Structures are given as C-alpha cells and as structure tokens.
Chains A and B, each alone.
Chain A
Amino acid sequence: MAMQVKFHNVAADYKLGPIRQSFVLQSVNLAISSGTFSAVIGPTGSGKSSLLKVLNGLLVPKQGQAHIGDQVIEKENDKHVYKEVRKRVGMVFQFPESQLFAETVLQDICFGPINFGVPFEEAKKLASDVIEQVGLEQDILTKSPFSLSGGQKRRVAIAGILAMNPDILVLDEPGAGLDPKGKAEIMSLILNWHRKKEMTTLLVTHDMEDVAHYADEVIVMENGSVVMHEEVRDFFSDDQRLEKWSLELPNARRFQLKVEQDTGVKLPNICLTKNELVEALIKVGLA
C-alpha cells in the first residue's frame, strides 16, 4: 500500500532551553503523491533532515499540520499517532549503522518489526528475506553487528528498516561515506525495493547523479522552506536557474549541452543518464 504525504504550512524548531531559536522549518507546503520517488536537495543547514524528522513525528510542528496517509501530526498529538506514523514511515538516518546494538544481526533486524507487534517467527522470516534484498549472505544473520565492515553495517541497518515493511521510506544520505561501488549498490537496492513495494520514497542527497538516476521529483530546500518542487526533467531543463542555485548538472546532461553547443544539433529530449544520452545520440545520428 502506498501513501500520500502532505505538509500544510508547517513550521518547526528545536527548543533549546533558554536559547530561543528561529524556526528551522518555515511555512512548508508540500504535496507528495503516493508512489513517487522524490529527491530532497539544498545547502547544508537548509532543513532537509528536519523535514524528514517531521514525517516521523520526531520533530513536532509548532504550526501547521503534516498529513501522512490518514494520520495528522500537529502541535498536540496522541501517542498512538506517533506509533501509527512510525510504523508506516521507515526512516534511514544519516550513518544508520550507529543504531545497531543487538547481539546478532538477526535480532537487530527484528527489533523494529517486533516493536510494531510482528510475532518473532514472522519477523525472523522477514529478516532472512530482507537480508538477501540488501545483498548479504544468510549466514551473516548469526554474526554480531559490531564485527561487520562499514558497508555491511550500513546494509544491515537499512535492512532493519526495510523489515518494518514501511509504506513510506525516508533516507538521509544513505550513501554518505561509502565507496562509489558500494553506494551505487545501496542506491539500486533502494530503487528496486521502491518499485517492488510501490512505496513513497524521499531521499536526501547532495549528489545530482542520484537525483538524475533515481528521482521522479525534486524538492529544493533553502533556509527552512521548500523553494521548488517539480518533475526531475523540468528541473534539469533550465540550466540557468540551476546555475543561480549553484547546483551542478548531472554528467550526462552536461555532456549533452556541450555536444549541442559544439555540433549545433539539438537532441530530442533531456538526457539524465548515460543510457538516455546514448540513445538520443544514436537517434540524431551522432553516434
């Protein structure tokens, strides 16, 4: 089942004792339709992580409402709202491996599902299913999470979230600090899972290649507000605007612009990936 996400005029801050802070999120309005893969981008400190936390009830709005499916998060909520929301929204934090704690990988993966009321036997089945989805062997389930390599830990942590079978998956830079190959693998497993389960996915990233390869929509944040929300192809079509935001173009698109400039031939469509570019070049007879 997929779910819709809607923000209505959300403002939030981290209250810090005596020090009064300005809002880290201000009048955020956002509607994300069910089943889309959205990339959230923006400069450091613009509130991307905070936006994700609101989705999960970890940061409570001071004003406005966040609708997640049929649940509403606002200033005052019942406890069961949080429980319900957290069951539906799987959240992969930045460096999620820091949440591993259990004796074995199996127990760690089962932690989430069991908290949400899945019986142990069923959770075990989920774990062995999900561990393969993240590209690890079954025998890792009996090992201690602390004995794994950094990349393996990351996968186990992500598996622990996927095992909760969320309808909405939010990820905060899941590839940060991994080698390019490991990062690409993690991104493609997320994309596969997204397609298979028809999830609504939000991905915070700094990498325009990720945006070009995986996202359907782009959400740009600045100073705690959503300043742009559109289709990924529309987003990359206006390179002057991107320059204004000092955002990079994906490699394929940059190459396309260079080819168009040098040859004077316009390609039929906006190319975001290598394959699209190759196809377009063949179509116009340049390759």
Chain B
Amino acid sequence: MNKLILGRYFPGDSWLHRLDPRSKLIAGVAFIFIIFLADSLQAFALLWVFTLFVMRLSGVGFRTYVRGVRPLIWLILFATLMQMLFRTGGATFVDWGPITISEYGIINGFYVFCRFVLIIFFSTVVTLTTKPIDLTDGIGSLLRPLRKLKVPVDELALMLSISLRFIPNLMDETQRIMDAQRARGTQFGEGSLIQQMKTLVPIFLPLFASSLNRAEDMANAMEVRGYQSGTKRSTFRQLSWKRIDTASLFIMVVLAGVLLVVRTI
C-alpha cells in the first residue's frame, strides 16, 4: 500500500519544485502528446535524454522513479510482448503461425516500452515535485474557463483536494482496522475466493462507517464557517505565473518542434 510512488509528493527545493503547478500540469499533459510524435530511434533517444535531465533536476534519486514503474511492470511487459510477438514487417526472425518475431515487431515493442516508461517517469516528476494541494489549485485554475459552460469547477476542485487530503487518513485507518480484525482471528489472503471476500466485510463496514461520520463532521464544520456552494470566493494560496513557467512551456514547444522536424526526415 505504501509502495505507490506515482502520486506522492517528495518535499524539496529544486527548480522544479518552485515552478507554478499550472505549468507543470500543462507540460505533463503536453508530454503525453509529444511522445506520440516520436517514431524513430533518434527521437526516442532525444526524449530519453530530455526526461532523464528533468528527473535529474527534480533532485529525487533515480531509484525512486524505478520503484514508481515497478507496480506497472507487468502491464508494460505485456504490451511490449504483444507488439513483439504479433507484429509483422521487415525481416522475420521467427515464424510460428500467428506468432512472429519480426524486425518491426521488435522495434515497435521497444517504442511501446519507452512510451510507457517515459510517461510514467514524467508524470512522476510532476507529482513528486508538486504538493497535492497545489496540484488541485492548479487543476481548478486551469479548468476555470469551463465555468462558462456551467461546470461547477470550484466544487470539483474542492472535492478533489478534500479527497487527496483524506487518503493518508484512510490508509492509516484501514491499517488499524485490519490489525484489529487480525487480532480477532481474521486471516487475510487465505482460503477460497468467497472466504477471502468475506474477510473484507469486517474491514470495509467500519471504514465506511467512520468515513461517513467524518464526512458529516466535515460538512458541519464547513457549514458552521459559512461555506456555500456556488458562490465566488478568493483563495488563500495564490498561484503566480513567473517568467520561468513561460520558459519551461517554451522548452516543451521546442521539444515538440524538434520531434516534428525529425519525423519528417
């Protein structure tokens, strides 16, 4: 449970930590599109250099990022293998009926692998260097134009930040209740599937009960302090877009441009 790196924040004081969350969010989304521009070994080499450089800037060790990939490794390997085994084209090395290992297959498998890993690395950089609360502020601010379409942007941002805020509490509580039920003789991960599902009831019921109580407390506390949905409010934390944010988005544009040029060769 504690192994999830993607989505965690590592406090620090790097150049990336000080960027505006909005520029990091835009860069993160843009990177996913940029990655699909790459279609040659040179292009992927460039992306790797760029990503490793950004990871370096975050001041978080490389091993942490590798751990972030680990939970998804089976998915990645599966996608890679699918490409390797079923794609045809170019020189064919092995041919067993539907299963063929071809030149294109190997190259495409490699591309798929790189895409997955690079996207995970880059999104991990964003979440590792941005406080969750800044992330939600950033999302709220970026979605603001949708207000015109009557989307309750502020409420959504508030929901998101409350949820993020309570994830650690919920994990602690789950752990505590699991310990308590273990002490009463529950054995998790044993017996048939039905038996295993049954052991979840004594965990989830108390968890729901306490979450509902907590939600009610929170709603009361908000009401007492005069919270009303749908009204305009100012924020305590101000986001400030600096020149360096513009510069970093410019870098992303340059990266996209270079990849487009390499592509047309």
Does B12 have its Cβ within 8 Å of any Cβ on chain A?
no
Name which of B80-88, B177-185, B222-230 contacts chain A: B177-185
Given contacts A16-B2, A18-B5, A111-B202, contact A98 B183 (CB under 8 A): no
Contacts of B179 in A (CB 8 A): 53, 58, 93
- Most A CB atoms within 10 A — which of B5, B205, B210? B205
Within A58-101, the residues touching B (CB, 8 Å) are: 58, 79, 83, 86-87, 89-91, 93, 96, 98-101
CB distance from B49 to the nearest CB of A (A): 25
Contacts of A164 in B (CB 8 A): 184-185
Interface pair B206/A115, CB less than 8 Å apart: no
Interface pair A18/B64, CB less than 8 Å apart: yes
CB distance from B167 to the nearest CB of A (A): 15
Does A146 have its Cβ within 8 Å of any Cβ on chain B?
yes
Q: Determine which of B182, B209, B210 lies in contact with A58 in the assembled complex, contact meaning CB atoms within 8 Å.
A: B182
CB-CB nearest in chain A for B61: A18
Question: In the docked arrangement, what's the CA distance between A91 and B63, Å?
Answer: 39
Question: In the docked arrangement, what's the CA distance between A90 and B67, Å?
Answer: 38
Contacts of A96 in B (CB 8 A): 180
Q: Determine which of A79, A98, A116 lies in contact with B180 in the assembled complex, contact meaning CB atoms within 8 Å.
A: A98
Interface pair B209/A17, CB less than 8 Å apart: no
- Most B CB atoms within 10 A — which of A87, A96, A112? A112
CB distance from A267 to the nearest CB of B (A): 43
Q: Tell me if B's interface is mostly helix, strand, loop or mixed.
A: helix
Question: In the docked arrangement, what's the CA distance between A58 and B205, Å?
Answer: 21
Question: In the docked arrangement, what's the CA distance between A17 and B182, Å?
Answer: 22
CB distance from A103 to the nearest CB of B (A): 9
Does A174 have its Cβ within 8 Å of any Cβ on chain B?
no
Does B187 have its Cβ within 8 Å of any Cβ on chain A?
yes
B159-177, CB under 8 A of A: which get 1 and which 0?
0000000000000010011
CB-CB nearest in chain B for A157: B180
Question: In the docked arrangement, what's the CA distance between A17 and B205, Å?
Answer: 27
CB-CB nearest in chain B for A53: B179
Given contacts A18-B64, A18-B67, contact A101 B183 (CB under 8 A): no
Given contacts A99-B177, A99-B206, A101-B205, contact A17 B3 (CB under 8 A): yes
Contacts of A58 in B (CB 8 A): 179, 182-183
CB distance from B197 to the nearest CB of A (A): 14
Question: In the docked arrangement, what's the CA distance between A198 and B218, Å?
Answer: 45
- Residues of A at under 8 Å CB distance from B? 16-18, 53, 56, 58, 79, 83, 86-87, 89-91, 93, 96, 98-102, 111-112, 115-116, 146, 160-161, 164
Could you pull out 20 A-B pairs where Cβ atoms are within 8 angstroms?
A17-B2, A18-B5, A53-B179, A56-B183, A58-B183, A79-B187, A83-B185, A86-B182, A86-B185, A90-B183, A93-B176, A96-B180, A98-B176, A98-B180, A98-B206, A101-B201, A101-B202, A102-B202, A112-B184, A160-B184
**Given A93-B180, A99-B177, A99-B184, 15 other A-B residues pairs in contact with their CB atoms under 8 A:** A17-B2, A53-B179, A79-B190, A83-B187, A93-B179, A99-B181, A99-B202, A100-B206, A101-B201, A101-B203, A101-B206, A111-B184, A111-B202, A112-B184, A115-B185
